[in-house]
Structure 1
């Protein structure tokens, strides 16, 4: 089996739980601390496809202060603008996200990451 990539924030309990579930299932994991190594807008567009989401906002943390400050709930904003906002402010990306091949899952609840196996 291929290695699962986990977009991880070690300060987040859900992210830590998802990592633990992956490890308990003896799966290989590549942990990416996305706050330290933000994804590019192109990578975020690809991630959105892998998640199967029409609306970028479904992979965003809308309760973050920066979300409101930037007015990201404005329906006139394009996907490209939203991807750029996440790339510039990675705290906006929902977490954790597990990626395997052409599929990805947001780990809320953390058990959803196991749908990839």
Structure 2
């Protein structure tokens, strides 16, 4: 039951945002061994993002609220895949992107029809 929150300091159309959100939910599911049914993706335009190393171009920050349990390697693989997807779709330099993970116990992530389970590597 992740929530991927993308902050962008540039404009995108509603259609672009929706396509990107769908694409990133699928990317998350593939890389993190999850299902898209419970994934939430938010794309927000903000007035300014300060990222110290960023150049004077577009900037994107992803705050990824995920269930605890995935390895550092798995999270790193997702972060790099997201950075590549953002660079390809929006032309944002890699140096102008940041991915931050916040991990939650499964029971802290809820929908109307369920309380999340803890996550563990598939056997």
What interval of TM-score do these two structures reach, taking the shorter chain for normalisation?
0.3 to 0.5
Give the TM-score normalised by the residue count of structure 2.
0.32
Higher relative contact order (CA 8 A, sep 6+): 1
Give the TM-score normalised by the residue count of structure 1.
0.33
Which has the larger Rg?
2
Greater share of residues in helix: 1
Greater share of residues in strand: 2
